[in-house]
Structure 1
Amino acid sequence: MNAIRPDAAAARAVYVLHDNPEWIPPLREAFDELGVPLVEWVLEDGSIDLTGVPPQGVFWSRLSASSHTRERAHAKEYARAVLRWLEAHGRRTVNGSSVVEIEVSKVVQYALLRAAGFTVPQTIAVFGRADLKARARELAVPFITKHNQGGKGLGVRKFADYDEFDRYVDSAEFEEASDGITLLQEFVESADQSITRAEFAGGKFVYAVRVDTSAGSFELCPADACQVDFSALAVCAVPGAETTEDAQAAADAGTAPFRERFDIDADDPLIVQLEAFLAAHRIEIAGVEFIEKADGTRVVYDVNTNTNYNSDVEALTKRSARLALARFLGAELEKVAEPALA
């Protein structure tokens, strides 16, 4: 693990810019398996010489919108600075500077998704706290809140009525968004108490994961570092489970809460539309989440450009997103010239 201190003479490699070391080891296994060199640049302390030249390689941004929750309050600004420097030198960036702006703002995501013809939730962006109560009354109950710069379910709460929301806004429990923007959003009821997360590597669909939401949790990170504590999980989170032991057994079998959906293929109209959307906005690695309503409408509500993968799902499927990711970045690295000898 390395802080950002570039050496122009460094060996050609895939450089991953990130803010959470816990997410890298499972990904590194796939790179090692394919023999693709991976070098970490952690978005914390470090420096770049603006008159210097970056090393040769492929530079992959895994900036997370929730970086500020891991004592990396300035990771977003560091990523912006480093990626713009790399791009000015013509380096190959994956999920580059324009994608950072999509990752850290759900306002941007919804604007782009809506413009591209997707169904998105009715959402009101509120700056500060003063307008929250009045604008909430424009939504039917129940409704939810979330943070504009989100991830990890930040600021996501469900409210059954306006009075409950008013009390929350006035209380010490009110959770300020890191950028001051709170989203008020319609609560979208799924047909089967689940959401679907479709994974893309190199802009192409790999597989989709069904996530059971019947326990009411909004923290849906699939990474192994975000494993659910089944001792505290309501057994209704796993259909048919009568005890937490049943729930754990289901999880061990790869059936809850994350599992592959075999009923969604690459030629599904929504997947085709999503691939076109990702290409239009230069998003090459992503996990896109949507909810399917009882009437069949599929509502897209989140674009994750620092996506993670769940080991239970990866063990069940022959379509490994980790290997697809490493294979894609390795192929891009092959297109980059070797550093010139001094």
Structure 2
Amino acid sequence: MTADLAILYEHPQWFRPLFAALDRRGIPYGALEPGTAFDPADAAPPAPLVLSRLAMSAFLREREHPIFWAGALLARWELSGARVLNGTAALAVDTSKARQLALIASLGLAMPATRAVHRAADVPAAAEAIGFPLVVKANIGGAGAGIARYDSLDEVRAAVADGTLPTSIDGVLLVQDYVPARGGTITRIETLDRSFLYALEVAGAGAFDLCPADACQVPGSAIAMTAVEPAPELRAAAEAIARAASLDLGGVEVMIDDRDGVARFYDINALSNFVAKPLDVLGWDPHERLVDRIEGWLEEAR
């Protein structure tokens, strides 16, 4: 008998807790890894309900990454009538930080001042418009990849001249104001089915675009994570972002600008792995809540 649930994933370890939670409940599923060709004319999806767990950091693990390939595959399954959780609408947001920021701004929320460019030659002019210090970011990063700080126009011009600017697999870069986060912390707000699930305060160097499934597992890591209850307005904003981004499951990152106290949202993550060692950090396991909702989605998809 074919399972009613299929999970598309590429990271070899991140989803073991989810698979274990499904196994405990006796929920059958198919675990699908990218790596085989698909026929765009094949109308048969693998299951009525598909959960996409594709990471934007896939390109760091495999040069011939599946990110854009999977976008076409998910679109075919949607056209065939499958319910794809974090499907093509969410993937379109996940694969572009520029698009994320446009969505955030469209909701009337604050973000770091940013310019999106597609040519290295345009970075100096964008940097002059932003001011210093600033960061240059890959439009598709993941796990902190593709971020560099510059403190002067001379540094930026030198990076352009010697070809050491960050690169992005789609050729787009963001030139962005370096926001001094109050207390050296950011807040990551996790959502499930467009509603608040939990939030973490993250302290430590290099906290941007961190992976909570990895960070607190590294012995001696400078990154510390603490469960927090965010301010009501931040919680409401994260839920609004999740709705606008079509996130069935995902995280939103925000920091308080120490210069003016403004909450600036800067990242939307449709993969958003749950924090490692959740019982230590949260006191409960969010995978159980996810499986609760998967059971509901399965009923809706049948």
Instruction: Give the TM-score normalised by structure 2.
Output: 0.91
RMSD of equivalent CA atoms: 2.2
- The answer to whether 1:57 aligns with 2:48 is yes
Residue 217 to residue 12, structure 1, CA distance change in 2 (3 Å): closer
Q: Tell me, yes or no, if the aligned pair for 2:5 and 2:47 is still in contact at 8 Å.
A: no
Decide whether aligned partners of structure 1 residues 90 and 193 sit closer, same or farther in structure 2, where only a CA change above 3 A counts.
same
Offset, 1:31: 2.0
State whether residues 15 and 38 of structure 1, in contact with CA within 8 Å, keep that contact through their aligned partners in structure 2.
yes
Q: Which residue is equivalent to 1:312?
A: 277
| Alpha carbons 2:144, 2:206 under 8 Å: kept | no
Corresponding position of 1:104: 95
The aligned counterpart of 1:293 is: 257
Name the counterpart of 1:78. Answer: 69
Report the Cα distance in structure 2 between the residues aligned to 1:118 and 1:104, rounded to whole angstroms: 20
Matched with 1:220 is 210
Q: Are 1:321 and 2:286 an aligned pair?
A: yes
Letter matched to residue 177 of structure 1? S
**Aligned CA distance change for structure 1 residues 225 and 161 (closer, same or farther; 3 Å):** closer
Q: 1:22 aligns with which of 3, 10, 13?
A: 13
Indicate how the Cα distance of structure 1 residues 299 and 219 shifts in structure 2: closer, same or farther if over 3 A, else same. Answer: closer
Instruction: Measure the CA separation in 1 of the matches of 2:209 and 2:29.
Output: 29
Identify the residue that residue 180 of structure 2 maps to in structure 1: 189
Q: 1:82 to 1:119 in 2, by over 3 A?
A: same
| Cα contact 1:14–1:59 (8 A) shared by 2 | yes
Question: In the TM superposition, what is the alpha-carbon distance from 1:197 to its structure 2 partner?
Answer: 0.4
Distance in 1 (CA, whole Å) between partners of 2:281 and 2:216 is 19
**What does 1:56-205 align with in structure 2 at a 5 Å threshold?**
56-71=47-62, 73-205=64-196
Alignment TM-score, normalising by the size of structure 1 = 0.81
More off after superposition, 287-296 vs 177-186: 287-296
Query: Which residue in 2 is equivalent to 1:271?
Result: 235
For residues 11-57 of structure 1, the C-alpha deviation after alignment (integer angstroms, 9 at most, x for no partner) is 22321122222211122222223333232211232424624422433
How far does the alpha carbon of each residue in 1:239-286 deviate from its partner, in whole angstroms, 9 at most, with x for none? xxxxxxxxxxxxxxxxx512211x326xx1221232133223321101
CA contact (8 A) 1:314 1:321 kept: no
Over 3 Å counting, the alpha-carbon distance change for 1:227 and 1:46 in structure 2 is farther
* Contact kept? 1:64, 1:104, Cα under 8 Å: no
Change (3 A) 1:25 1:315: same
Taking the aligned partners of 1:126 and 1:141, their CA distance within structure 2 comes to 17
Helix, strand or coil: the match of 1:153? coil
Deviation at 1:114, TM superposition (A): 0.5
Give 1:194 deviation, angstroms: 0.5
> How many Å separate the matches in 1 of 2:159 and 2:21?
45
**Structure 1 residues 225 and 32, CA gap change in structure 2 (3 angstroms):** farther
Of 189, 213, 226, the match for 1:259: 226
Counting aligned pairs with the same residue, the percent is 31
User: Where do 5+ consecutive residues of structure 2 fail to align?
Assistant: none
CA distance in 1, matches of 2:275, 2:115: 32
User: Corresponding residue for 1:35?
Assistant: 26
Could you say what secondary structure the match of 1:44 adopts?
coil
- The alignment partner of 1:12 has SS state of coil
Give the CA deviation at 1:301: 0.2
Q: What's the secondary structure of 2:18's corresponding residue?
A: helix
Moved more, 269-278 or 203-212: 269-278
